[in-house]
Amino acid sequence: MLHYESTVREPLVNGNKDYHQVTEDIISPIEKKPGKLWWIALGFAVTMLLFGVWSVFWETYWGIGVWGENRTVGWAWDITNFVWWVGIGHAGTLISAILLLFRQGWRTGVNRAAEAMTIFAVLCAGQFPVWHMGRVWLAFFILPYPNSRGPLWVNFNSPLLWDVFAVSTYLTVSILFWYSGLIPDVATIRDRARKKFAKFFYGLCSFGWRGTAKEWQRLEALGLLLAGLSTPLVLSVHSVVSMDFATSVIPGWHETIFPPYFVAGAIFSGFAMVQTLLILTRKILHLEEYVTLGHIEAMNKIIMLTGGIVAMAYITELFIAWYSNVVYEQGAFWWRIFGPYWWAYIILITCNVVSPQLFWFKKLRRNIPFTFVMSIVVNIGMWFERFVIIVLSLYHDYMPSAWVYYSPRWPELGFYIGTFGLFFTCYLLFAKYFPVIAVWEVRSVLKTSGESYKQKMAALEQKNTEEFLQEVQHEHALAAH
């Protein structure tokens, strides 16, 4: 049956593919034994994870004092990393929800990996506030439930509690979104499995999926419902995180621009991390025909857009500090630029404002090595943005006697490295045992956006109206039989 899409649009699936070939290309790496490169990567990730576990044990045993924090800089490396990891997790929901609602077909090649990245990034982010408590065994105190401690209730007016609700809700919806879309592909693996344990495991994970019309109808309805629910979360989660700072009275934090500023920055860094993972994944698993240059370019355009919004936020911050005529606000930004941490601000501006402008050139937007390097540069810049906001607003207090230069110690560095180990360990295991590209969604766009089908339509477009209608009737007749 003929499906029409303009040949002006770039194919979303390259090569001469049919439904069977799509399944083989994406599912077969799961059925094979992992390669040497996968084992090396997993070993490196587990090593980082174990170093992080040791660092956390050291901090828990000796106390928060082993970190570099002090009376002036109480939030430092750990909260910087918390905000950074939460931002990394934003792109998954954006691709899943907003691009689904806007019917953007190019999301089909990248949404599965982005959704998984969201879950793993939020898990990493959640580690930092918990272990920052010091007495981690009392972490359940943040949960609002009837108790016998007075009763001692949480402060519902605190944005720190809002964080608990926002991030946990975001994680729950992200898991539902990711797993509901995974079920049909897990059922495909179940049906192809030859080993008894694999058939049992994937059968358990697929919840008895049979692929009936009713099941597909409910899956699509659930997808739209979750997309509608999670779209506000894309805006709300990092807005709530920004209120940890914006609701305070500290110069450099007390700014109403923070919610949209943080959201744009989160999408900016999240898409950069998606680029990093997908470029590696498409190369290692040989999925270049499904994650095409068109996908890479589309995400680079979003990085360029959100980078522009972030740059505008930086300019607005500086303007408001000058226009407010508040000496403390002006002083905070003066010390950011000309103080002892001037190098951090220079890195921030270079990575987040200057470097994304290179994506105005189409050749660079479609250059894979350049995009890979840029994705790392952007996330380095976004980490320094959070560091500048948090540490550089605290180290110069109102009293000169409290001014201090903060430097992290090895347990903080180890903790951060350990979250990278957790993230990549989870992602590597996911990529080995589950499809990193949504097979059923790729199939859904294959006959409209596949390269071979678009070439066929290009040939038909050269015919006159009568010949075209005859071809259409012939195709319909074949489909009817």
Has residue 78 been placed in a domain?
yes
The answer to whether the beta carbons of residues 13 and 375 sit under 8 Å apart is no
Q: Which residue shows structure tokens 């049906």?
A: 191
Enumerate the β-bridge partners of residue 13: 450
Average pLDDT over residues 405-416: 90
Where does the pLDDT of residue 1 fall: very low under 50, low under 70, confident under 90, or very high at 90 and above?
A: very low
What is the rounded distance in angstroms from the CA atom of residue 277 to the CA atom of residue 109? Answer: 13
Residues above pLDDT 70, as percent of the chain: 93
Phi-psi map region of 418: left, alpha, beta (phi>0 left; psi -120 to 50 alpha): alpha
Q: Note the pLDDT tens digit of each residue in 192-249.
A: 888 889 889 999 998 989 989 899 999 889 988 988 888 888 888 888 888 888 888 8
As a whole number of Å, the CA-based R_g of the chain is 25
Q: Quickly state the pLDDT bin for 423 (edges 50, 70, 90).
A: very high
CA 39 to CA 28: how far, in whole Å? 18
pLDDT of residue 332: 87
Would you say residue 4 has pLDDT above 70?
no
Question: 450 in helix, strand or coil?
Answer: strand
Residue 436 falls within a domain, yes or no? yes
Asked if the model's pLDDT at residue 11 lies above 80, the reply is no
Q: pTM of this prediction?
A: 0.88
How many angstroms separate the most distant Cα atoms in the chain?
87
Residue 2 pLDDT > 50: no
Phi and psi dihedrals of 390, rounded to 5?
-80, -60
282-299 average pLDDT score: 86
| DSSP per residue, 14-67 | -SS--HHHHHHHHHHHHHSPP-HHHHHHHHHHHHHHHHHHHHHHHHHHH-GGGS
Domain CATH code at residue 263: 1.20.1630.10
Identify whether 232 is part of a domain.
yes
| More confidently predicted of 159 and 464 | 159
| Buried/exposed 303-329: b ≥16 CB within 10 Å, e otherwise | bbbbbeebbebbeebeeebeeeeeeeb
Are residues 293 and 366 in contact, defined by beta-carbon separation less than 8 angstroms? yes
pLDDT in tens, 97-111: 888 888 887 888 888
The predicted pLDDT at position 461 comes to 67
Counted domains in the chain = 1
Instruction: With respect to residue 161, please indicate whether it lies within any of the assigned structural domains.
Output: yes
Q: Encode pLDDT of 332-362 as tens digits.
A: 889 888 989 999 999 999 999 999 999 999 9
Give the residue numbers spanning the domain of 214. Answer: 19-144+155-445
H or E element, residue 315: helix 293-324
Torsion, Cα of 203, 427, 413, 58 (10° steps): 20
In whole angstroms, give the CA distance from residue 262 to residue 465.
53
